[in-house]
Structure 1
């Protein structure tokens, strides 16, 4: 195991980020296309839509909605250097994602044969997203190659860049994925900090970063519930209150039967008359024929006598 380059947590062998921050990267890459679409629909499309004229035409009846230049900068073209500082501090989304994809691709080995037929390895020349060089395409490419990126020292820089980008998007859209706490404790640290975040597949722990698939969490929660139920039953045995009747007194003992018709009664059971008198407040010499209620314990013994 190695140390996470973002926090003091432990990272899996061969990786530079812990499970928590690796999960954040996956979540951000799933969130960014939706945030970009929201920007385009709410800020750009509405300002470009013509207003309806008074006589039913499409003439401009009112002043157009002003466009936030920060939105245009994020959605427009541009360039970004993942190894250097950006000029205006707000690089376009697609340029940021594409630059990081190219930076990762340069470290990925590619096999090819030279003109003499000899197999050689060399860095990839560029990243080629299957779905085109769009925000969605770059996010899909980065998600696919994220396991490889986590093995590179640049993983911390990628985390920092996407963290900054997502914060800008959320600031503009006022939209943020919600966390939904889970009831079962984390199986790794035993703390109740498991959450499911909108847009993320894994249930993850906010404390140690442990991750569970939804099926794994359901199985874990079922085991926890079963264990806690068994412990509760041992420490708080279930009891039932039943109606009984003192049939007769025999010396210091009282014969107790169920308060049901005689043909349905079982054999009487004897209990100390003094204990029954002390619990109910009925003198011993007046117990015979008295109707009571009592709790039936796990061992079928009666206790907690009360006057019916």
Structure 2
């Protein structure tokens, strides 16, 4: 069984995965700039026309980590494989796309946060969320903030342009105006 903070983080990550996949999909197109060095480098083969790491994350796959005897799986487990594997555990069915699988896991919330395998689910979804966030290049746009989170009291609040302030630990969100009011209260308390 998951504690409240982990369950909230899992819910936040599941709801963010479809959007992260959409942003990561944009990185599949080949870049118009040269990323592979000068023309004088000796290459046996031409560079891949797509970002292979993102292609591996967004491509087809099945959750068969223990059956990959030939080592064909390169890199992380594809997102659809992780989500379908957990959908099979929760509902006994597969789902065609990432959005549908995330919706099903969110709809079956008591089953996904109150069972003995919930910690494994949270670990797998957290790992997948981190990989998709890195592939979507969202880390560079986050700005850490100075105040503690009002819910979990950790210094994990982050701001992103055009979005609400959110806690990377528990998933709590607040508007930028609310954060500014809290910052003004803290400044008044310390006399700044």
Q: TM-score, normalised by structure 1?
A: 0.41
Give the distance between the partners of 2:49 and 2:97, measured in 1 at CA: 25
Unaligned regions of 5+ residues in structure 1, if any? 1-15, 48-62, 106-124, 237-308
Correspondence for 2:6 among 21, 28, 43? 21
Q: Displacement, 1:203?
A: 5.9
Map 1:130-209; keep pairs closer than 5 Å: 133-176=96-139, 178=142, 181=145, 183=147, 186=150, 191=153, 193=155, 195=157, 206=169
RMSD: 4.0
Unaligned regions of 5+ residues in structure 2, if any? 31-45
Give the distance between the partners of 2:109 and 2:165, measured in 1 at CA: 16
Give the distance between the partners of 1:65 and 1:150, measured in 2 at CA: 40
Residue aligning to 2:18: 33
Q: Displacement, 1:74?
A: 1.9
Correspondence for 1:94 among 80, 105, 109? 80
Give the distance between the partners of 2:131 and 2:82, measured in 1 at CA: 13
Task: Tell me which of the two structures has the higher relative contact order, counting C-alpha pairs closer than 8 angstroms and 6 or more residues apart.
Answer: 2
C-alpha offsets along residues 88-120 of structure 1, whole Å, 9 cap, x if unaligned? 352221121111011012xxxxxxxxxxxxxxx
Map 1:1-308; keep pairs closer than 5 Å: 16-43=1-28, 46-47=29-30, 66-81=49-64, 85=66, 87=68, 88=73, 90-105=76-91, 125-126=92-93, 133-176=96-139, 178=142, 181=145, 183=147, 186=150, 191=153, 193=155, 195=157, 206=169, 214=174
> For the Cα contact (< 8 Å) 1:193–1:205, is it kept in 2?
no
Give the distance between the partners of 1:147 and 1:73, measured in 2 at CA: 31
> For the Cα contact (< 8 Å) 1:20–1:204, is it kept in 2?
no
Q: Number of residues paired by the alignment?
A: 162
Q: Displacement, 1:201?
A: 8.4
Q: Displacement, 1:37?
A: 1.2
Q: TM-score, normalised by structure 2?
A: 0.62
Bigger Cα Rg: 1
SS in 2 for 1:163: helix
More helix by share: 2
